[in-house]
Amino acid sequence: QKEVEQDPGPLSVPEGAIVSLNCTYSNSAFQYFMWYRQYSRKGPELLMYTYSSGNKEDGRFTAQVDKSSKYISLFIRDSQPSDSATYLCAMSLNYGGSQGNLIFGKGTKLSVKP
């Protein structure tokens, strides 16, 4: 079993839809959870960063962490064509040293159609 599992998609939705992206993980010691967005032929950029359990909201984006289920989600409201990208989940044990190394999911490719 991989440490972090993420459905690769592709996922295609109409503009304005609510998008739900998810990752599951096996190591209950993970504490830091991130979502990166990667546009085609670009480097990943951080979208959301959450410590431990709970929700975090930033504009149209909401990140949820459920540590009891070892499950994290990213919701995109009112999706736009500019949201079309690959979304990578990532997590780490801690923020320092080798425990700060990120373990990435394989990414979900999202396409938002006008």
Partner 1 sequence: NAGVTQTPKFQVLKTGQSMTLQCAQDMNHNSMYWYRQDPGMGLRLIYYSASEGTTDKGEVPNGYNVSRLNKREFSLRLESAAPSQTSVYFCASRGLAGGEQFFGPGTRLTVL
Interface segment toward partner 1; rule CB under 8 A; list 10-18, 52-60, 67-75, 93-101: 93-101
Phi, psi of 14 (to 5 degrees): -80, 155
Residue 102 in contact with partner 1, rule: CB under 8 A? yes
Contacts of 53 (CB under 8 A, 6+ apart): 65, 66, 67, 68
C-beta closer to partner 1: residue 55 or 101: 101
The answer to whether 90 and 34 are in contact (CB under 8 A) is yes
C-beta closer to partner 1: residue 44 or 110: 44
Q: Which residues of 34-69 are buried (b: 16+ CB within 10 A; e: fewer)?
A: bbbbbeeeeebeebbebeeeeeeeeeebbbbbeeee
Residue 77 in contact with partner 1, rule: CB under 8 A? no
Interface segment toward partner 1; rule CB under 8 A; list 11-19, 36-44, 63-71, 72-80: 36-44
Residue 41 in contact with partner 1, rule: CB under 8 A? yes
Interface contacts to partner 1, rule CB under 8 A: 6, 8, 32, 34, 36, 41-46, 49, 88, 92, 95-98, 100-102, 104-107
